[in-house]
Structure formats: structure tokens, C-alpha cells
Amino acid sequence: MGFYMKTSISIMAVAVSLTLISTMLLAKEARYPEFGNGRIEQNLVKSKNYMVSSANPYASEAGMRVLAKGGSAIDAAIAVQMVLTLVEPESSGIGGGAFALYWDKANKSLQSFDGREKAPMAADGKLFQQDGKNMNWWNALAGGRAVGVPGVVAMMEKVHQQHGKLPWAELFDDAIKLSEDGFEISPKLGASIARGTNPALGRYEASWNYFFPDGQPLRAGVIKKNPELAMTFRRIALLGSSGFYKGQIALDIVNAARNTAADNPGLITIEDMLAYEAIERPPVCAPYKTFKICGMGPPTSGGMTVIQILKLLEGKNLSQYKPLSVEAVHLFTQAGKLAYADRGKYMADDDFVAVPVEGLIDANYLAERAKLIGLEDMGKASPGIPPNADANWLVSKSPEQPSTTHFSIVDKAGNGFSMTSSIEMAFGSTVMVHGFLLNNQLTDFSFSEEKNGVLIANRVQPGKRPRSSMSPFMVFDENDNLSMVIGSPGGSRIINYVAKTMLGVLEWDMDIQSAISLPHFVNRNGGTDLEKNTDAAMLKGELEALGHQVSVRDLNSGLHGITINSEGLQGGADPRRVGRAMGQ
């Protein structure tokens, strides 16, 4: 019997179980779309008490079970992420990193947490260079060279120590059981393997044996067990993060990155593992009309760039236009060009680089930048000079990949959690150890450290965290009440996806599901991308008449969001992927 026909009520009281069962059965009856080529129907989910929206029904169920037992938002998040490590290995896991926001309703306190991977202390600006030239990105991604010190476990433990209600060890129960008993391979995962989304997958023995049993790629519908990962979860459940960063797991991570992947060895050491620390950083917030919008600061660029896009559009009266009108899409893309121009020049790990955070979201600065938005496409935008900025930094690029995940959670007490998690390229470095994959996040650095003697902000440095586009966000109303939790995977397009969805709710009065489902339109300071097989694609000719260079393509986001109002919670999940919002 397949995953979508199973039920499990053993750990919940009967009264709660009956409601949860009906919700979960609806989720299990849904069909997965074909990977990157299709949509599933997603309906707005409403609830009164608590909600989880994540990238896989198994994970949403695990989070719901924790919330049903009285767990907090971080308790549920740990259960969700551990299950995603098992069932969505192409997108995230404990071998990667994450950024998260936590809202403590009782204390009206918003915190942000940085669990981004770090470069080994032996790494420098020559990490991705050979014979004085930058490596080909495809040659850099696989093996140990691009493996950063993973941050997910340390970050989640840090938040749990502050806000957890249930014992740490209990939060691994679902992930352990699924790892031992088996889970159903989704068509998304099966297609990712079969289509060679990461052409290096299977290059190394452990990942070959796991993803290509009997020499054939795992197929959708197959029940897959991962006893090695179950043992890893048991160790972390018992010992906490020290079970990951110390001892045998840490030693084997180092050995796998340096020696197993001998064709492209890494520099990570046991000292790098022992020294890793997740960091609590100040969130980045700005007013948007009657709302307050809040995201993560550096080393992710997502928070500031999303805020820039919305602030650049604040005076454009977007609500007068329909969401898929040529006027609205044109304005959005031009704001995107200006924001991405600043992103490319100024944003990096501000433990190493003086990022002008306040200057980049300064209202007067952005009001002047907004004057550059005209009736025709502006072409390639140049970065501005925000207050307190070092204008000498050189613009850089890094080819971030869309294999990431996001989940949003609100617990019964009204606390919220927004977390975006990644291992970078689909299946990361393809190096597998103890049942999980290691990231290749160091490819998010610029491969060049300078050009003509001018330094690049996002260059590789020892112990530095690479720039990201991950954009976990929260929105608050005029009374400082949490009103939205949102985020998405999607590489550097994440910023566009999140900004569009927030505007759908804040400007066009959409419910969260409709805003998530709204076809995508994207600009990263280049051409304009319109989502294939949607009404957005019909704007191609009109936008070209305004000077846009337009591509119509798959834009496979993974938005998962929750809104809160006087009537309760509303949740949405992205029809482009396989997730599910569930509530009670």
C-alpha cells in the first residue's frame, strides 16, 4: 500500500487524531507532478490552532504530530527538517546549511539565525582556480572541494535551546521510523535521479549504492530504507549537535570530503567541524505601507534584496493594476534589476566585508533609485551608492542552484518559524556519508577574488560564509502581530518568488495559496523570465515591445507560506512541487 493510503495515529490522542487523519488523507490522495514540468492542485488550508507547510507530506505530517503533542514551532521544525533529509535528499539535509526566523509571540520578539556553511580555514581565493584560471563550475561542484562545514544541526539546536518545549530526542522519532521502515520515493525525487539533474550523482560508491541499487536509478513508488541515516539520527538525538560535530560522524565527514572524493578533494578538517558555530544575527526589517517586512541579513542577500524590491515599488500604486498585467510585471522586473545590481556589488558575509545593510534599505536612497524606473525596460542596471557604502567593491556573480527547500510553521501559542534550507546543487556534492549527502555550497562564492586589482566582496576567505539568496520572511501588521510566514527555494530567483508572493497578499489582496500559485515573472538584472505554460507567458510580446529580452521557461519554485488573521491560519503550498500545508 502506497504512502498516500497510510495512516498513523499511535502517538496522538483520539480527539486530535481524527482531525489529523482527515487532513493527512487528503494530502496523500494528491498526485506528485512531473519534476519541473507540471502542477498539482493545491487548495487553501484553514485552521484555528497550528499549521505546517513544507515541501513533502511526510515532513508536514511529522511537524503536525509534534504540534499536536504541544510542541513549539522549533520543535516541529526539527522533525520536519530531519524527515526532509530522508525523503528530499536532492534539496536539503543535515549535510547542508540554513537560515531561519523565529517569532516569539508572548515576548513580541523576532530573532534570526544563521546556519550557513563555512569555508574551511585552509581555503582562500584560489580555491576554485587551476593553472591561474577559474574552474568550470560543473567540475567544481562534485567531490569535496566545494563542501562547507554544515550548519543545520547546530542552528536548530541553538533555536531549540531557547524555544523548545519537547525533549530534543523525541523530535527525531518520525525520521528514525521512516528511515528504518521505509518511505515511498516521490516522482520528483525519482525524476531527479533518472534525468541526471546532477550528472555527478553516483560518481562515489556510497551515493551510487544508495541511489542506483542494482545499477538502476531509484524509481518513483519504490519503498526505500536508509538504516545508516537512522543510526545517525539516533546518535544526534542522544548526544545533540556534539554527536554530529564531534566523534565518528565528524571524522567520516572530513574523510569523505578529503579522501573519498579524491578526484576533487576538499580542505575541511576536524578542527573546522569542532569550531563551527551557528550565529544569532539581527533581522533586517523595513516598513511597507502599514506593514513591517522582516528577513535575514548577511550573509544571505535575500532579506535586503526582497526589501529593496518592495520598497522600490511602494510608491508605484501596484494595486491599481492586475497581477498579470503588463504594467505590474514591467514595474516588478525593473525594481528587480535595480535591487539585483546592488546585491551583486555589496552583499556578502559581513563578518568579513562591511555590508551597508541600513544604507541598502534606506528609504531616501530607494526613493531616488525608484525614479530610474520608467515606461520602458532600463537595460542592465548599475549599482547605486547607498549611504555608508564602499563603492570600490567589484560586482560579482555566483551560479546559485534551485535545489533548496522552505517550510513555514505556526504553533498553537502563535509562535512562528520560517526556515530555508539547502545543500546547493541537486544532491549537493554527491558525496554521501552516514546516510546523508554533503553540500557543495562553497560554489556560491565568486570563483575570482579580484579583477584588475579590485577585490570582490563575495570572494573565498578562510572561515567565511558564502553569499546566499535564501529569503525566509515574516510580515507584521500595524499592531506588530505576525501576519505572514513565507519563503521558497529557487537559487538566485528565490528573491523574485518571495517578493512576488508577498505583493500578491499585500497589494492584490490574494489569499496565500493564490499568491503562491500566481504565475512567476522574474528579472535578475538581465532578461525577463516568464513562467512556461501559464498566463504569464502570454505577456511576452507586450514586454518585448517595451524593450525586454524575454525567455519563457520553467520556473520551479517551492513556496510554502502561512497567513494569520482574526479568523485563524491559512496555509498554501506550491503547486510546482510536491509539498503540503496541513493545519488543525
- Radius of gyration for the chain, computed over Cα atoms and rounded to the nearest angstrom: 22
Q: What are phi and psi of 385, to 5 degrees?
A: -125, 90
The answer to whether 240 touches 230, Cβ cutoff 8 Å, is no
Tell me, what DSSP letter sits at residue 444? Answer: G
Instruction: Report helix angle 57-68 to 14-29, nearest 10.
Output: 170
The answer to whether 482 touches 179, Cβ cutoff 8 Å, is no
CA distance 580 to 407: 10
The answer to whether 552 touches 566, Cβ cutoff 8 Å, is no
Q: How many CB atoms lie within 10 A of CB 463?
A: 17
Helix (H, G, I), strand (E, B) or coil at 134: strand
Amino acid at 574: D
CA distances from 180 to 4, 208, 225, 243, 510 (A): 18, 20, 6, 20, 42
Closest CA to 415 of 160, 174, 72, 115: 72
The answer to whether 502 touches 488, Cβ cutoff 8 Å, is no
Amino acid at 168: W
Burial of 182 (0-12, 13-18, 19+ CB in 10 A): middle
| The C-alpha cell that represents 170 in the structure block | 523525541
CA distance 572 to 559: 8
CA distance 283 to 524: 24
Burial of 534 (0-12, 13-18, 19+ CB in 10 A): middle
- Give catalytic residues, as residue numbers: 404
The answer to whether 76 touches 69, Cβ cutoff 8 Å, is no
The b/e string for 250-284 (b: 16+ C-beta within 10 A; e otherwise) is beebbebbbebbeebebbbbeebbeebebbebebb
| The C-alpha cell that represents 50 in the structure block | 497550528
| The C-alpha cell that represents 402 in the structure block | 534551485
Closest CA to 143 of 462, 438, 465: 438
CA distances from 550 to 15, 66, 422, 545 (A): 53, 45, 29, 10
